[in-house]
Amino acid sequence: MMKKTVLLGAALFLVISPLETVMANDNGASAANTAQAISKQGMFTNAVVERTKDGTIKLHWQTIADLGPVKVYWSANPDGGWKELARTYASFGGLSTADPNPGSRVYFKIKGGNGAMIKTAERLLPLQGTTNFRDLGGYRTTDGKTVKWGKLFRADELAGLSASDISYLQKSGLKTIVDYRTDDEVKQKPDPTIAGMKYVRNPVFGQSGSGTDLMNYMAAGEFEKMGKPGDVLIAANRDMVDHPEAYVKLFDMMLDPARADLVQHCTAGKDRTGLGSALMLLALGVPKETVVQDFMLSNKYRETYNKAAVGAMVKQFNLTDENAIEIIKALMDVRPEYINAAFDEMASKYGSIQGFLEKGIGLSTDKQAKLKKMYLE
């Protein structure tokens, strides 16, 4: 039953846009004494990139102390090839610019007069055919390193990608598309074939199931069979921890340089993909609090869609009961209790999140060290 229920969530979930904040990066301080010196002089603590409706790119940054003159660089490659874009002052807190790389992914490096530096990029990719395709880069780990930009992505369904979207992704360096959806979902909205990318079917809930039972419950007005608002997805997150085979396969791909630089996706990019993203970040040493913040971003990106979808279902099923409407809203949302149910299940079955990574996923200390070497800077 629970396997079917989460699939309803997936089947209902399309998605929406905006973007979010980036965690700080301190690439300019590699040695301990340099780090201490920069800390005394000042450093960047955060940098965010936003795109306006007319395509203008706005960079915002925060610093400790005034870093004086600032140089801003851009590149299509987060690992190098930087070109100077602008010169300004740290005290201005940011700048607006035309897109220096239209139709392609662009990364920014901001360097202060004292050598302090931070990399950043748009978290949400500016694609026409998806609404929740985002980069997991920029998050700070507990040991002060940062998840590399442009290596690990999470997304919703890809069936709506336009020709320009596909061109954008081909230029991004992506190697692998990991699809968590069921056979029924894939059959209804298959991913496009993208030259240069390996497509991997990796269903979280096996080969079948479509959430038909839940749709029938709603159509019949039998919302009591779905429990309290949120119960379906709380149970689903526990179930995903109890049956982690798809995530074991995910990490096998992450550890393979030939398949690294990947995007994992489901239908909405919020539940199955949400747990996969959480596991990725946790294995790299990102704090649980930050992981939950990333999980919750889907509400921001989906906000407009969720309102429209809930309204449409209320009309379709002629709902007046507030509890029934709240159940539908809960299916469309992500909530802290959903991902925390997964964490609680890990602790219950494996003693801790780390225990789950080691025993449930099979990530030895050596494998986790390799992941960090591959995806952190």
pLDDT of residue 223: 82
pTM for this predicted structure:
0.87
pLDDT of residue 1: 42
pLDDT of residue 212: 53
**Each residue's pLDDT tens digit, 80-120:** 999 999 999 999 999 999 999 999 999 999 999 999 999 99
pLDDT of residue 22: 29
Considering Cα of 83, then 373, then 201, then 126, what sign does the dihedral take? Answer: negative
Q: What's the rounded mean pLDDT across residues 226-246?
A: 94
pLDDT of residue 37: 47
Question: Above 70 in pLDDT, residue 16?
Answer: no
pLDDT of residue 91: 95
Candidate from 84-93, 178-187, 222-231 with smallest mean pLDDT: 222-231
Question: Above 90 in pLDDT, residue 340?
Answer: yes
Alpha carbons 155 and 296: distance in angstroms, whole number:
14
pLDDT of residue 207: 54
pLDDT of residue 244: 97
Domain ranges of the chain: 2-16+147-375, 32-122
Alpha carbons 277 and 261: distance in angstroms, whole number:
14
Q: What's the rounded mean pLDDT across residues 362-368?
A: 98
CATH superfamily of 2-16+147-375: Protein tyrosine phosphatase superfamily (3.90.190.10)
- Helix residue spans in the chain (DSSP H): 2-12, 32-41, 163-171, 183-188, 212-219, 231-242, 245-254, 272-283, 288-316, 322-332, 336-350, 353-355, 365-375
- β-bridge mates for residue 200, sequence order: 178
Fold of 32-122: Immunoglobulin-like (2.60.40)
Q: Indicate the average pLDDT of the chain.
A: 88
pLDDT of residue 226: 82
Higher pLDDT, 241 or 23: 241
The residues near 18 (Cβ < 8 Å, ≥ 6 apart) are: 124, 300, 301, 303
Question: Above 70 in pLDDT, residue 365?
Answer: yes
Considering Cα of 221, then 226, then 229, then 232, what sign does the dihedral take? Answer: negative
Q: In the structure encoding, which two tokens stand for residue 256, read together?
A: 């393979």
**Each residue's pLDDT tens digit, 261-273:** 999 999 999 999 9
Q: What's the rounded mean pLDDT across residues 204-209?
A: 68
Candidate from 54-58, 74-78, 321-325, 349-353 with smallest mean pLDDT: 321-325
Question: Above 90 in pLDDT, residue 253?
Answer: yes
Alpha carbons 254 and 282: distance in angstroms, whole number:
14
Share of the chain above pLDDT 90, in %: 79
pLDDT of residue 211: 54
Candidate from 141-150, 316-325, 334-343 with smallest mean pLDDT: 316-325
Split at pLDDT 50, 70, 90, the class of 39 is very low
